[in-house]
Amino acid sequence: MSAAATGPLAGVRVIDLSTILAGPLACQLLGDYGADVIKIEHPLKGDGMRGHGPSKDGVALWWKEISRNKRAVALNIKDPAGAAVLLDLVATADVLVENFRPGTLEKWGLGPDVLHERNPRLVVARVTGFGQTGPYAQRAGFGTLVEAMSGFAYLTGPADGPPTLPAFGLADSICGLAASTAITMALLHRERTGEGQVIDLDLLSPLTTAVGPGPTAYQQLGVVETRHGNRSTNNAPRNTYETRDGHWVAVSSSAQSIAERVMRLVGHPEVIDEPWFASGRGRAGHADEIDAYVGGWVRERDRAEVVRAFTEAGAAVAPIYSARDLVEDEHVRATGMLTEVDDDELGPVLMHNVMWRMSASPGSIRFTGRPLGTDTEEVLADLGYDPERVADLRKRQVVA
């Protein structure tokens, strides 16, 4: 048996119909803070997340984290019998999260109108690439496409190089965070009014917000920012610098006082008195000069010495980490940012801990991602299905 759920969402039931990646991450966060998340997968195909990322002995490692705190139910909701079971679950649920292409649930007879007829208090979160309406609604909506359209790729990479995509699911991850926020807002609204609702969330909106006020600058000034590598048009020094021992560090100076401390540390306090040094934009206009000073100083020292000197000077620096560096970092270890969770298949599994700390209602990782269909009998028994009906359903679902 799994540990009892605690946290601010204890008692909230979430049905996770979503797959790669925004919806599952949103549901993971809800589960981390106490929600009873029921993960629905096709009995034969399973969730596509099971095939994403590295695996050990055939066991997907990412699945262990993204599906933690979720009970695994095998159910083919395209089949009328499976759809009927889903509606029985909906009657007991608070939230349903899906990321099918617009119109898919309606085609299966499971659109929001049908769901709300069964449970008017249900919060339905619909996560898609481009939203439920508009010219692009029916386009395939993967994170890569959104990273391209949002302005992120256009602004990322060397000034003389190609637009650069992230090496991870950036758009999906930011959307997953946004979805968890939207769902909790909808639950608060329901608490006040008793009314469920539909959330229409596209991948593009959260990432365009994260990229910044480019549209505003274009509309007001006719300005279109371009790529400039690791530099910033808003301040300097802001770059990555290689250390003597072959590592890299990142330096930031968004605050004027930090920029002054950096220049004193690297032995060039004279530039602080230059008129252009008094603003971030002014310093960015002299980035070549500033980078030469900072980069030259860093290049003569090992990473540990650079980080120590910057820290003692009250300047802003961070080593550029690999996954191994992150695991070994003393701050990450001391704060429990990563934690080991026991898993029946793999033993202790290191994964990201719950994302934020709450003094009165903390989250928890009760169990890792389950094998396909592990909790089907338990969940259906909770609905009042007798063993014979469950067996008949499973037989039908496998061949449906």
Q: What is the pLDDT along the chain (400 residues), one digit of tens a residue?
A: 456 788 999 999 999 999 999 999 999 999 999 999 999 999 999 999 999 999 999 999 999 999 999 999 999 999 999 999 999 999 999 999 999 999 999 999 999 999 999 999 999 999 999 999 999 999 988 999 999 999 999 999 999 999 999 999 999 999 999 999 999 999 999 999 999 999 999 999 999 999 999 999 999 999 999 999 999 988 999 999 999 999 999 999 989 999 999 999 999 999 999 999 999 999 999 999 999 999 999 999 999 999 999 999 999 999 999 999 999 999 999 999 999 999 999 999 999 999 999 999 999 999 999 999 999 999 999 999 998 888 888 777 765 5
Phi, psi of 242, rounded to the nearest 5 degrees: -90, 135
In sequence order, what are the residues at sequence separation of 6 or more whose Cβ sits closer than 8 angstroms to the Cβ of residue 281? Answer: 233, 234, 235
Compute the distance between CA of residue 193 and CA of residue 67 in angstroms, rounded to an integer: 31
One domain for residues 156 and 185: yes
Considering the domain architecture, whether residues 144 and 75 belong to the same structural domain is answered as: yes
Residue 223 lies in a domain: no
Both 146 and 197 in one domain: the answer is yes
Query: What is the spatial distance between Cα 302 and Cα 272, in angstroms, rounded to a whole number?
Result: 26
Q: How far out from the chain centre does Cα 370 lie?
A: 20
**Is 361 inside any structural domain?**
yes
**Residue 280 and residue 152 share a domain:** no
- What is the phi/psi pair of residue 226, to 5°? -125, 180
Residue 228 lies in a domain: no
Q: Which residues pair with 73 in a beta bridge?
A: 40
Residues 200 and 250 in one domain: no
Say whether both 206 and 262 belong to one domain: no
Are 58 and 90 in contact by the 8 Å Cβ rule? The answer is: no
Please tell me the distance from the alpha carbon of residue 240 to that of residue 198, in angstroms, as a whole number: 44
User: What CATH number does residue 167 fall under?
Assistant: 3.40.50.10540
Could you say which of 294, 328, 362 is where a domain stops? 328
**Residue 363 sits in which domain range?**
13-210+335-399
Assigned token pair, 184: 């909790």
Task: Decide if 376 contacts 82 (C-beta within 8 A).
Answer: no
- What is the phi/psi pair of residue 31, to 5°? -65, -35
- What's the CATH number where 263 sits? 3.30.1540.10
CA distances from 296 to 94, 280, 306 (A): 58, 21, 12
End position of a domain, from candidates 279, 301, 328: 328
Is 156 found in the same domain as 82?
yes
Q: Which residues of 189-199 are buried (b: 16+ CB within 10 A; e: fewer)?
A: ebeeeeebbbb
Q: Looking at the annotation, which residues are catalytic? A: 172
Q: Is residue 142 part of a domain?
A: yes
Question: CB–CB of 295/244 below 8 Å?
Answer: no
Query: Both 344 and 288 in a single domain?
Result: no
Domain termination residue (choose one: 265, 295, 328): 328
How many structural domains compose the chain?
Answer: 2
